[in-house]
Chains A and B, each alone.
Chain A
Amino acid sequence: HKITSSCKHEATLSSTNQKAACSRSPGTMPGPYRETDLTEKVEAFLSDLKRGGSGTGPLRGSAETARETTALLRRITAQVRWSSAGDLMEVIRKEGRRMSAAQPSETTVGNMIRRVLKIIREEYARSRGSSEEADQQESLHKLLTSGGLSEENFRQYFTALKANVIEAINELLTELEGTTDNIAMQALEHIHSNEVIMTIGRSRTVEAFLKDAARKRKFHVIVAECAPFCQGHEMATSLSKDGIETTVITDAAIFAVMSRVNKVIIGTQTVLANGGLRAVNGTHTLALAAKHHSTPLIVCAPMFKLSPQFPNEEDTFHKFVSPHEVLPFTEGEILSKVNVHCPVFDYVPPELITLFISNIGGHAPSYIYRLMSELYHPEDHEL
Chain B
Amino acid sequence: MQIEGKELTKEEKQRLRKEKKQQKKGKEKKDASLPQVSVAETAAPASQLKAERRARQEAERTSKQSKKGDTGQPATTSKPKIPPNELQPGTQNTWSDHPHHMLYLIKQWLSPEIFFFQIPRRLDYGYKVSLFSHLLQYSRKAPLTQQLSIPSAVIHPAIVRLGLQYSQGIVAGSNARSIALLHAFKQVISDYTTPSNEELSRDLVNKLKPYISFLNQCRPLSASMGNAIKYIKKEISNIPSQFKEDDAKKKLLNCIECFIEEKIVLAAKAIAKSSIEKINDGDVILVYGCSSLVNHILCEAFEKGRKFRVIVVDSRPRLEGREALRRLVQKGISCTYVLISAVSYILPEVSKVFLGAHALLANGYVMSRVGTSQIALVAKAFNVPVLVCCETYKFCERVQTDSFVSNELDDPDDLIVTRKGETQLKDWQQVPRLGLLNLVYDVTPPDFVDLVITDLGMIPCTSVPVVLRVKNVDLL
Complex CA gap A341/B373 in Å reads 22
Asked if B341 contacts A246 (CB within 8 A), the reply is no
Shortest distance between the CB of A193 and any CB in chain B (Å):
15
Identify which of A5-13, A129-137, A229-237 touches chain B. Answer: A229-237
- From B129, B339, B346, A247 is in contact (CB under 8 Å) with B129
Asked if B336 contacts A285 (CB within 8 A), the reply is no
Contacting residues, chain B, for A250 (C-beta < 8 A) = 315-317, 370-371, 415, 438-439
Interface string of A325-350 (1 = CB under 8 A from B): 01100010010011111110011000
Say yes or no: is A44 at the interface (Cβ < 8 Å to chain B). Answer: no
Asked if A253 contacts B342 (CB within 8 A), the reply is no
Interface string of A307-332 (1 = CB under 8 A from B): 00000000000100000001100010
Contact flag A341-B342 (CB < 8 Å), given A240-B431, A259-B402, A288-B378: yes
Say yes or no: is A228 at the interface (Cβ < 8 Å to chain B). Answer: yes
Say yes or no: is B95 at the interface (Cβ < 8 Å to chain A). Answer: no
Contacting residues, chain A, for B438 (C-beta < 8 A) = 250
Shortest distance between the CB of A55 and any CB in chain B (Å):
11
- From A234, A281, A340, B336 is in contact (CB under 8 Å) with A340
Interface positions of A from 199 to 228, Cβ below 8 Å from B: 225-228
Q: What residue of chain A has the Cβ atom nearest to residue B418's Cβ? A: A230
Asked if B370 contacts A285 (CB within 8 A), the reply is no
- From A251, A284, A346, B316 is in contact (CB under 8 Å) with A251
Asked if B342 contacts A233 (CB within 8 A), the reply is no
Contacting residues, chain B, for A241 (C-beta < 8 A) = 431
Say yes or no: is B72 at the interface (Cβ < 8 Å to chain A). Answer: no
Contacting residues, chain A, for B434 (C-beta < 8 A) = 236-237, 240, 246-248
Shortest distance between the CB of A266 and any CB in chain B (Å):
13
Complex CA gap A292/B325 in Å reads 31
Asked if A256 contacts B378 (CB within 8 A), the reply is no
Shortest distance between the CB of A336 and any CB in chain B (Å):
10
Shortest distance between the CB of A4 and any CB in chain B (Å):
48
- From B338, B419, B437, A249 is in contact (CB under 8 Å) with B437
Say yes or no: is B136 at the interface (Cβ < 8 Å to chain A). Answer: no
Asked if B433 contacts A253 (CB within 8 A), the reply is no
Asked if B381 contacts A288 (CB within 8 A), the reply is yes
- From B329, B334, B341, B437, A248 is in contact (CB under 8 Å) with B437
Shortest distance between the CB of B199 and any CB in chain A (Å):
46
Contact flag A257-B403 (CB < 8 Å), given A237-B425, A237-B431, A341-B338: yes
A-B CB pair tally, cutoff 8 Å: 160
Q: What residue of chain A has the Cβ atom nearest to residue B444's Cβ? A: A255
Complex CA gap A257/B371 in Å reads 11
Contact flag A256-B403 (CB < 8 Å), given A284-B344, A341-B342: yes
Chain B interface residue count, CB cutoff 8 Å, equals: 50
Residue from B326, B369, B402, B425 having most chain A Cβ neighbours under 10 A: B425
Contacting residues, chain A, for B432 (C-beta < 8 A) = 240
Complex CA gap A248/B377 in Å reads 22
Asked if B377 contacts A237 (CB within 8 A), the reply is no
Shortest distance between the CB of A280 and any CB in chain B (Å):
8
Say yes or no: is B384 at the interface (Cβ < 8 Å to chain A). Answer: no
Contacting residues, chain B, for A226 (C-beta < 8 A) = 341
Say yes or no: is B308 at the interface (Cβ < 8 Å to chain A). Answer: no
Contacting residues, chain B, for A255 (C-beta < 8 A) = 373-374, 377, 442
Interface string of B414-443 (1 = CB under 8 A from A): 010101000011001001111111110011
Asked if A338 contacts B336 (CB within 8 A), the reply is yes
Asked if A318 contacts B345 (CB within 8 A), the reply is yes
Contact flag A253-B341 (CB < 8 Å), given A285-B377, A340-B336: no
Chain B binding site: helix, strand, loop or mixed by DSSP? mixed
Contacting residues, chain B, for A288 (C-beta < 8 A) = 377-378, 381
Q: What residue of chain A has the Cβ atom nearest to residue B414's Cβ? A: A250
- From B131, B322, B381, B419, A327 is in contact (CB under 8 Å) with B322
Residue from B325, B335, B345, B403 having most chain A Cβ neighbours under 10 A: B345
Shortest distance between the CB of A223 and any CB in chain B (Å):
10
Chain A interface residue count, CB cutoff 8 Å, equals: 50
Complex CA gap A289/B433 in Å reads 26
Say yes or no: is B404 at the interface (Cβ < 8 Å to chain A). Answer: yes
Interface positions of A from 351 to 366, Cβ below 8 Å from B: none
- From B341, B346, B373, A251 is in contact (CB under 8 Å) with B341
Shortest distance between the CB of B282 and any CB in chain A (Å):
17
Asked if B340 contacts A243 (CB within 8 A), the reply is no
Contacting residues, chain B, for A247 (C-beta < 8 A) = 129, 434-437
Contacting residues, chain B, for A227 (C-beta < 8 A) = 315-316, 339-341
Contacting residues, chain A, for B402 (C-beta < 8 A) = 259
Asked if B425 contacts A334 (CB within 8 A), the reply is no
Say yes or no: is A192 at the interface (Cβ < 8 Å to chain B). Answer: no
Say yes or no: is B40 at the interface (Cβ < 8 Å to chain A). Answer: no
Complex CA gap A339/B424 in Å reads 30
Asked if A339 contacts B335 (CB within 8 A), the reply is yes
Complex CA gap A326/B419 in Å reads 12
Say yes or no: is A48 at the interface (Cβ < 8 Å to chain B). Answer: no
Say yes or no: is A22 at the interface (Cβ < 8 Å to chain B). Answer: no
Contact flag A249-B341 (CB < 8 Å), given A237-B424, A334-B326, A338-B329: no
A228-B316, A234-B424 known; 6 new pairs, CB 8 Å cut-off, are: A227-B315, A240-B434, A248-B436, A254-B374, A260-B404, A339-B336
The chain B residues found within 8 Å of chain A, CB to CB, are 129, 131, 315-317, 322, 325-326, 329, 334-346, 369-371, 373-374, 377-378, 381, 402-404, 415, 417, 419, 424-425, 428, 431-439, 442-443
A-B contact pairs, 22 of them (CB 8 A): A225-B316, A226-B341, A233-B425, A247-B434, A248-B434, A250-B415, A251-B316, A251-B339, A252-B369, A252-B370, A253-B439, A254-B374, A256-B439, A257-B131, A257-B439, A281-B342, A281-B344, A284-B378, A338-B325, A339-B336, A341-B336, A341-B337
